[in-house]
């Protein structure tokens, strides 16, 4: 299993390699099941941590398993519970719950994090950016745009966060609109 992880780290197409031999195929499935390698044959963050641990010398070195539950709870709390909200003194009513299927979301988020492309801070920043964007749009339009936010499981399955991660990393910010109070109706 470690050898397959090292091959994946070197960029070898281990999925194709393992498909040729039934015994290697079973070994590949085991490595994927343990989370060392993703289903497409890339080294996961757990696999990277394991290899780093094995290549580190010294008795003081310990392999520390990441706390996915803590990361998930941070993300889950950041996800809006409903589409009802108050923003900058204006209330918007909604009609649905947006946090759904917590256990399935936890599994999906774990897989996304194990791929190693994004960390939990990236995902939370992207979510906060999108929600703030929808709240600002709601304020400008006078209608609740948060109703168009996907539920939590769909959000993860469709990887809706990806373009927002790019925006956050590019340093994009959301400009606050002017809040108009009072006025004259004609």
Based on the domain organization, do 9 and 83 belong to the same domain?
no
- According to DSSP, residue 37 is labeled B
The total number of structural domains in the chain stands at 2
Question: Of the candidates 55, 77, 95, which is a domain's last residue?
Answer: 55
Q: Which residue has the tokens 């774990």?
A: 110
Based on the domain organization, do 125 and 161 belong to the same domain?
yes
158 confidence band (pLDDT: 50, 70, 90): very high
Domain housing 50: 2-55
- Grouping H, G, I as helix, E, B as strand and the rest as coil, residue 129 is helix
Based on the domain organization, do 87 and 11 belong to the same domain?
no
Based on the domain organization, do 13 and 87 belong to the same domain?
no
Q: Is 180 contained in some domain?
A: no
Nearest to 135 by CA among 166, 171, 176, 100: 176
Based on the domain organization, do 83 and 159 belong to the same domain?
yes
156 confidence band (pLDDT: 50, 70, 90): very high
Q: Give yes or no for residue 46 having a pLDDT over 70.
A: yes
Q: Is 76 contained in some domain?
A: yes
Question: What six digits make up the tokens of 100?
Answer: 């759904």
pLDDT of residue 20: 81
Q: Give yes or no for residue 179 having a pLDDT over 70.
A: no
pLDDT of residue 59: 64
Q: Is 62 contained in some domain?
A: no
17 confidence band (pLDDT: 50, 70, 90): confident
Based on the domain organization, do 145 and 75 belong to the same domain?
yes
For 101-124, the pLDDT digits (tens) are 999 999 899 888 888 788 899 999
Lowest mean pLDDT among 29-38, 80-89, 111-120: 29-38
Contact 13, 40 (CB under 8 A): no
Q: Is 175 contained in some domain?
A: no
Write the CB contacts of 34 (distance below 8 Å, at least 6 apart in sequence): 1, 46
12: left (phi over 0), alpha (psi -120 to 50) or beta: beta
Question: What six digits make up the tokens of 17?
Answer: 């390699």
Q: How many helices (H) and strands (E) does the chain have?
A: 9, 2
44 confidence band (pLDDT: 50, 70, 90): confident
Helix (H) or strand (E) segment spanning residue 86 = strand 85-87
Q: Give yes or no for residue 183 having a pLDDT over 70.
A: no
């Amino acid at each position: 299993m470690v050898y397959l992880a090292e091959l994946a780290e070197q960029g070898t197409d281990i999925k194709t390699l393992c498909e040729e031999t039934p015994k290697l195929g079973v070994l590949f499935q085991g490595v994927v099941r343990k989370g060392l390698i993703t289903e497409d044959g890339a080294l996961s963050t757990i696999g990277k941590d394991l290899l780093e641990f094995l290549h580190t010398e010294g008795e003081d070195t310990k392999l520390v398993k990441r706390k996915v539950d803590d990361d998930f709870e941070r993300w889950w709390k950041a996800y809006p519970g409903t589409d009802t909200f108050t923003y900058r003194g204006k209330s918007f009513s909604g009609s649905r719950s947006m946090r759904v299927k917590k256990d399935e979301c936890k599994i999906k988020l774990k897989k996304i994090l194990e791929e190693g492309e994004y960390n939990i801070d990236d995902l939370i920043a992207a979510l906060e950016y999108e929600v703030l964007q929808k709240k600002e749009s709601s304020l400008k339009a006078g209608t609740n745009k948060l109703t168009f936010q996907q539920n939590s499981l769909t959000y993860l399955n469709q990887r809706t966060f990806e373009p927002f991660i790019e925006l956050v990393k590019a340093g994009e910010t959301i400009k606050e609109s002017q809040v108009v109070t009072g006025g004259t109706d004609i």
